[in-house]
Chain A
Amino acid sequence: MGSAISTKPASRPLHPWPIRLTHWANAALLVVMAGSGLQIFVAYPALGPVADLAWWYPLQWKEPPHALTLGGWLAGARHWHFAFAWAFFLNGLAYALYLAASGEWRERLFFPRRDLRHAVATFLYYLRLARRPAPIGLYNGLQRLAYTSVLLIAPLEVLAGLALFKPVQLPRLTALLGGYEGARAIHLLVLAGLALFTTIHVVQVALHPRTFLAMTLGRTTLRGAPRG
């Protein structure tokens, strides 16, 4: 959908300010939520009930590295986690509402009929099995797939967190996620997914520094030119 982007006035930033603001707020909030969450996990670094640990989890009783934790101890980390959870949720909600209302979703989200072929072509290019596919608009198909996947699993992380917070008062949600232990496993696995995404994301940004400028200043040059 290159046409959607080329019809915009040239002065329009690549990323409108609400997207840049919520993106960077989310980056900071994700660090706080992940760090405090891992500190909470230190208190019982296992999955499954005490009498019946999950057979499929390879890291039973392996504590997450201290450098990745935040909050100092269990009670402190819980205060961090339950305070910043509100900001994390509200920021995500603001982003989603802006995405929907502004029409930005059209060129940012993954639509299989439009983007699947391009996502596969880009993936093959990364594996050096094919030539680089022709660029399409703001993001390539694989980027759209990655960003949309994150937007789908992030709400799951919030819902699983809610189930862990109130397993008795929210019985339907908790049952839907496989009970308290199911929700706990989902909460950790989705974190792993978000961490994997973030790692690849940061590497890609490091390889393409102009995207960092775009997400920070809204344009890809330090001077005022509309597009790089």
Chain B
Amino acid sequence: MERWNERVERLLFDPDRLAPELGPEEAPEPSAFPKYKISRQFPHTPAGWLLRIGGLVARPMTLSLEDLQRLPQVSLRVRHHCVEGWSAVASWTGVRLSHLADLVRAEPRAAYVEFRSFDSGYYSSWDRESALHRQTILAYAMNGQPLSREHGAPVRLYSAVKLGYKMVKYLTELSFLPERSGGYWENQGYEWYAGV
């Protein structure tokens, strides 16, 4: 049944449809944005942190935070939908994943993208179409400030088109893959596609 629902969800997914950008009135208290983690404590960025991008790509890359910040910058202010049912709004700034996919020249047969983190092995994998959506970014700033430890510093995945548990925080590695590779919550029974 989940496979059938995923087919319907993929049918409904329009790669060109953008979630509406919201105004400042939508988040009266930016500090109220919930913060989740898997580790007992919010993880600290390891010394010498680098983001590795590999898998089915012509040019694998390793990027520092400064490298990412030099790339074309975009900002999103869209509604966040958690699987639990709550919603929240914040501004997120970073670089489009589609831009990075172009830089590393991701192969067309890489239909999935896997995101790994340093939060006790938390990870997720996405369909390529959602990962390359214009509103899917690697965010290094939230509400105009560098990303805090609680929200996934130094870099996290953020997107308008997935539920919150798909947006991996504390990123360490991106892999373009020919097959889906599950995820932390997905392996425990949560829906894999989880588009909104």
**A44 interface neighbour in B5, B14, B82, Cβ under 8 Å:** B82
A50 interfacial contact with B, CB 8 Å: yes
Interface magnitude class on chain A: 20 to 34
Find out whether the CB atom of B84 lies under 8 angstroms from the CB atom of A44.
Answer: yes
Interchain Cβ contacts within 8 Å, total number: 84
B68 interfacial contact with A, CB 8 Å: no
**A169 interface neighbour in B13, B26, B89, Cβ under 8 Å:** B13
Find out whether the CB atom of B14 lies under 8 angstroms from the CB atom of A169.
Answer: yes
A15 to chain B, nearest CB (A): 31
Contact with A along B1-33 (1 / 0, CB 8 A): 110010001001110010110000011111011
* Listed stretches A16-24, A78-86, A95-103; interface member: A78-86
A150-B179 Cα distance, complex, nearest whole Å: 46
Binding site for B on A (CB under 8 A): 40-41, 43-44, 46, 49-52, 73-76, 78-79, 82-83, 166-171, 179-181, 184
A sample of 29 inter-chain contacts (CB < 8 A) reads A40-B85, A44-B84, A44-B85, A44-B86, A49-B27, A49-B88, A50-B32, A50-B34, A51-B27, A51-B28, A51-B30, A51-B32, A52-B29, A75-B185, A75-B188, A75-B191, A76-B189, A79-B1, A82-B191, A166-B9, A166-B12, A166-B195, A167-B79, A167-B196, A168-B17, A168-B19, A171-B19, A180-B79, A181-B87
6 A-B pairs closest in CB distance: A51-B32, A44-B85, A43-B84, A75-B189, A83-B1, A51-B29
